[in-house]
Amino acid sequence: MIHGHGGDIYSLARELGRSPGSILDFSSNVSPLPLPKGLRELLILHLDEICCLPEVDSLELREALAERYWLSSGQFLVGGGTTEWIYGLPNILKPDKVVIPLPTYSDYADAAKSASCRIETLGPWPNAEPKANAEILESLSQAAKGRSLVYICNPNNPTGRFISTKELRQIISLRKEATWVVDESYAPFVGTDLVSSLILEEFPPNLVVLRSFSKIYRIPGLRLGYAVGASDFIEVLAYGARPWAVSRLAQIAGKYLVDQIDYEQEVRDYCKKEKARILPNFAEFSLLKPMDGVTHFMLFRVLAPWTADYVTKNLRKNGILIRDCKNFVGIEDEYIRISLRSGSENDFLINSLKELESLTPSF
């Protein structure tokens, strides 16, 4: 059972006796823009195809991905979101240990525990300031020895930290005996593939990159993601793949979305402009301190006398979901994460926080 993740609008809607559509969800890190143009109509057009089994191995989608990234279709493995491979890798590879720099996405540790792996955590580094990258890379260099499995979220959730692809390439090359899992679910929000991804360069045998359709295209309900690596590595990973793991509508959507490069740029442009507009408002609060980061989601430290729990619960009463950090080890009690939405919705959140700040907390 999954607990502590963002995006649970249904539970809050039931709690408040409201419709899910009335909940303002700032807790889920998906694109703040509407669905890519034409996607809804495409899915309706192909709705009758749910009467048949989907492609067993998502070949059409793998071929589309191969064409975009100038790789072979045998280097891609498509699944029901990146979660499939986050959990699959430690169970398939059986590493001596799993190395995880903190704070980061909790599923990495949960996946390691499910495979009964020994876990070595590093950090935490709650601030995404660039100088912390050198410390993280040095710690990884020391820890990633032997048959280690290393999880790196880049850019990182929840801090918004980004480590350059050049720096990652260097350390992956240095520690060849370790297997490196680089989760690029949020990379499209940072820049083009050339800037933000390891995919466009030759794959060493000890690297696998995870990518998500859910975040940048705003389709988490379709459950679609993929793993990319050297063909031999992907062949090994495929032994743990589930047949028909991807629904037919998800396959159709994925093939269409692979070519939506203009939409990706629209999302980046909007997020950059909107984040620059609202951050000065957050900087004026006495209850929150914004942390550095390059992503469309922002990490805040909650300052005394307020607490993250107090802020989160009071916003929930008004149908506003933000992300507490209870399951981000290393920053559990003092931090919250907020993702961008539309301009008017962002303003509504800011005004709600101002109202909350004007009240004296009672605990």
Task: Give me the residue label for tokens 């499995």.
Answer: 149
Residue 332 has pLDDT above 90, yes or no: no
Q: Does 132 lie in the same domain as 19?
A: no
Residue at 2 is within a domain:
no
Q: For residues 164 and 111, is the Cβ–Cβ distance under 8 A?
A: no
Q: Does 182 lie in the same domain as 92?
A: yes
Closest CA to 26 of 274, 316, 283: 316
Q: Does 238 lie in the same domain as 124?
A: yes
Average pLDDT of 227-246? Answer: 92
Q: Given this model, what pLDDT does residue 255 score?
A: 98
Average pLDDT of 322-340? Answer: 92
What is the rounded average pLDDT for all residues in the chain? 94
How much of the chain exceeds pLDDT 90, in percent?
86
Q: Does 84 lie in the same domain as 127?
A: yes
Q: Given this model, what pLDDT does residue 131 score?
A: 80
Q: Does 147 lie in the same domain as 25?
A: no
Domain that holds residue 184: 39-260
Considering its fold, how many domains does the chain have in total? Answer: 2
Q: For residues 12 and 316, is the Cβ–Cβ distance under 8 A?
A: yes
Residue 78 has pLDDT above 80, yes or no: yes
Q: Does 327 lie in the same domain as 244?
A: no
Q: Does 43 lie in the same domain as 19?
A: no
Average pLDDT of 66-91? Answer: 96
The three-class DSSP label of residue 239 is coil
Residue 4 has pLDDT above 80, yes or no: no
Return the higher-pLDDT residue of 82 and 240.
82
Q: Does 280 lie in the same domain as 247?
A: no
Cis bond upstream, residue 220 (ω within 30): no
Q: Does 308 lie in the same domain as 267?
A: yes
Residue 128 has pLDDT above 70, yes or no: yes
* Least confident range of 92-101, 154-163, 198-207, 235-244: 235-244
Report pLDDT digits (tens) over 256-294: 999 999 999 999 999 999 999 999 999 899 999 999 899
Return the higher-pLDDT residue of 66 and 6.
66
Residue at 53 is within a domain:
yes
Q: Given this model, what pLDDT does residue 360 score?
A: 64
Q: Does 152 lie in the same domain as 54?
A: yes
Q: What is the CATH number of the domain that holds 319?
A: 3.90.1150.10
Question: Whole-angstrom Cα distance, residue 151 to residue 183?
Answer: 7
Report pLDDT digits (tens) over 12-44: 999 989 999 999 999 999 999 999 999 999 999
Q: Given this model, what pLDDT does residue 1 score?
A: 40
Question: Whole-angstrom Cα distance, residue 74 to residue 62?
Answer: 8
Task: Give me the residue label for tokens 């280097």.
Answer: 75
For residue 281, which amino acid is it? N
Residue at 226 is within a domain:
yes
Hey, what are 213's tokens? 């359709």
Residue 3 has pLDDT above 60, yes or no: no
Residue 2 has pLDDT above 60, yes or no: no
Residue 86 has pLDDT above 70, yes or no: yes
Cα 164 to chain centroid distance, Å, stands at 17
How much of the chain exceeds pLDDT 70, in percent?
97
Report pLDDT digits (tens) over 43-65: 999 999 999 999 999 999 999 99
Residue 183 has pLDDT above 90, yes or no: yes
Q: Given this model, what pLDDT does residue 292 score?
A: 83
Q: Given this model, what pLDDT does residue 8 score?
A: 84
